[in-house]
Amino acid sequence: MITISGKSVFGGVSIGKLLFYQRNDKVIKRTHVEDVDAEWNRFQEAKDTAVTQLKGLYDKALADVGEANAMIFEIHQMMLEDLDYIESIENIIRTQEVNAEYAVATTADNFAAMFSSMDDAYMQGRAADVKDVSERVLDILSGADTGLKEMTEPCIIAADDLAPSETVQLDKSKVLGFATMYGSSNSHTAILARTMNIPAVIGLGEGLLQEYSGREAIIDGFTGTLYIDPDEATLKEMQEKREKDLEQKALLEQLKGKENITKSGQKINVYANIGNVSDLGAVLKNDAGGIGLFRSEFLYLENTDFPTEEQQFSVYKKVAESMAGKKVIIRTLDIGADKQVDYFNLDKEENPALGYRAIRICLTRPEIFKTQLRALYRAAVFGNISIMFPMITSVGEVRKIKEIIADVKEELKNEGIPYKEDVELGIMIETPASVMVSRELAKEVDFFSVGTNDLTQYTLAIDRQNSKLDEFYDPHHPAVLAMIKMAAESAHAEGAWIGICGELGADLELTEEFLKMGLDELSVSPSMVLPLRKRIRECE
């Protein structure tokens, strides 16, 4: 038995096979070939295999997420059949007498550069698509096994770390837990684990070897331990520990349908944070009062191009209808920093957490922002949708947002498209600047939602993605709590309500403190709704 210690980011016990997330590290070399006809046939066979894979992905996506979201796989099929693309590859193979891999990679680079240089935003988006379909063909040609395309059984996912764009592609129904070599407790792997209610251990270091892939493993999310090839005594102990945990969760089930009310009669709303439509089942199962944070950026992370207005409208409408009149707060695009999307073509930044991200992208690229706002205002007809904006630092930003909203409403009105006029608007309080001018901001909006992850990061001047700084990252710091209290006082003074949608909302040690501050709402991972309700009902 091999025992590796790390850091727990979500409790619980998972038992199953370990499966390593593979990345494509292939190097494309230019090699001379004698038989160009055979090489051309190699490409054609790989292309046909890729088309077959894409058809399968389309069918799966159609069943999982609907036609609008599945359309990307049809587009990729068409790109692989594009005559200009195919002729370029054939020309390079035959005239230069080189291998198919080199011809595909060169064509991909040339076409991507051509698309990127165009003025039209739609055509610029094709750059990422041509790269994506070419990578698929290159994987087939080189026999590379990348990612987790085939998860045939439930397993524990192991990796050095996982980017947001990688976690969204996982078949979440088959993920038993996460075990990573690196990462911080505030990484997206950790947040996803808490959302999915599955055990996760990070910081396992170099001791987590790829050769362990396929072997039996146990994650003890309570102690932050990973066991490889556990002995019988450890397996028995962990099975008992898992049963006990499940029993405690069963007791929490009795709180369903109960109010979030203290012994002295103070009420508070408890909502859930989600990343996409597939999380709706967990929201309803855990009896959340609404959705306090829908991270709309995952629509962008899951796509290889800007999601269209219809794609977004379909998703927002489904969420609103599924929640049947309960509040659904959708945060506008929060791309940048650790959430990078290739087709946005964002420049590399020395300090991305302080850089071009979130509302700063939306206000300087209004064509992207307007598409999302149109979809949101249209979907609001079908339920109780509120909209909130991230990374706000000034009143001027909010007023500029309102001007763009006015333009969007006017467009929809002139086009005869139904939309909701009076959508509730709010902002994220996640910068010290927004706290310091919170009284003025409260006059402009209906509500505040405190993003405690970023607020802590910016208040303490600590990069929350840097695992070396975990011991200094203190969300309980008096300065952070003082910021939240000040924002709450400002909101209530101007008739706005305030909640928390950051990870701190689920910190049961602070629940009583938040109640004393008079917070109106706490939004947490679906799995934390009932434990938080239990804690609230125990408070005086």
The binding site comprises: 295, 331, 430, 453-454, 464
Q: Which helix (H) or strand (E) holds 13?
A: strand 13-20
Radius of gyration of the chain measured on its C-alpha atoms: 25
What is the distance, to the nearest Å, from the Cα of residue 335 to the centroid of all Cα atoms in its chain?
Answer: 10
Distance CA 99, CA 105 (A): 10
**Residue 22 DSSP label:** B
Q: What is the DSSP string of 59-93?
A: HHHHHHH-HHHHHHHHHHHHHHT-HHHHHHHHHHH
The one-letter code for the residue type at 163 is A
Distance CA 409, CA 286 (A): 36
Distance CA 500, CA 59 (A): 39
Catalytic option among 76, 155, 362, 501: 501
Whether the CB-CB separation of 515 and 538 falls below 8 Å is answered with no
Q: Are strands 521-524 and 269-274 parallel, antiparallel or unpaired?
A: parallel
Q: Which residues are annotated as a binding site for Mg(2+)?
A: 430, 454
For the chain, the first-to-last Cα distance in angstroms comes to: 47
What is the distance, to the nearest Å, from the Cα of residue 299 to the centroid of all Cα atoms in its chain?
Answer: 8
Instruction: Please indicate whether residue 477 is annotated as part of the active site.
Output: no
Q: What is the DSSP string of 112-164?
A: HHHHHTSS-HHHHHHHHHHHHHHHHHHHHHHT---BTS---S-EEEEES---H
SS3 57: helix
In terms of Cα–Cα distance, which of 6, 9, 5 is closest to 453? 9
The one-letter code for the residue type at 431 is T
Q: Which residues are annotated as a binding site for phosphoenolpyruvate?
A: 295, 331, 453-454, 464
Catalytic option among 76, 155, 188, 362: 188
SS3 97: coil
Distance CA 241, CA 222 (A): 10
Phi and psi at 433, nearest 5°, equal: -60, -45
Distance CA 148, CA 21 (A): 6
Q: Are strands 7-10 and 175-180 parallel, antiparallel or unpaired?
A: unpaired
Q: How far is CA 235 from CA 174, 198, 216, 222, 248, in A?
A: 21, 18, 10, 15, 20
Instruction: Please indicate whether residue 188 is annotated as part of the active site.
Output: yes
The one-letter code for the residue type at 218 is I
Q: Are strands 424-429 and 384-389 parallel, antiparallel or unpaired?
A: parallel
What is the distance, to the nearest Å, from the Cα of residue 259 to the centroid of all Cα atoms in its chain?
Answer: 30
Catalytic residues: 188, 501
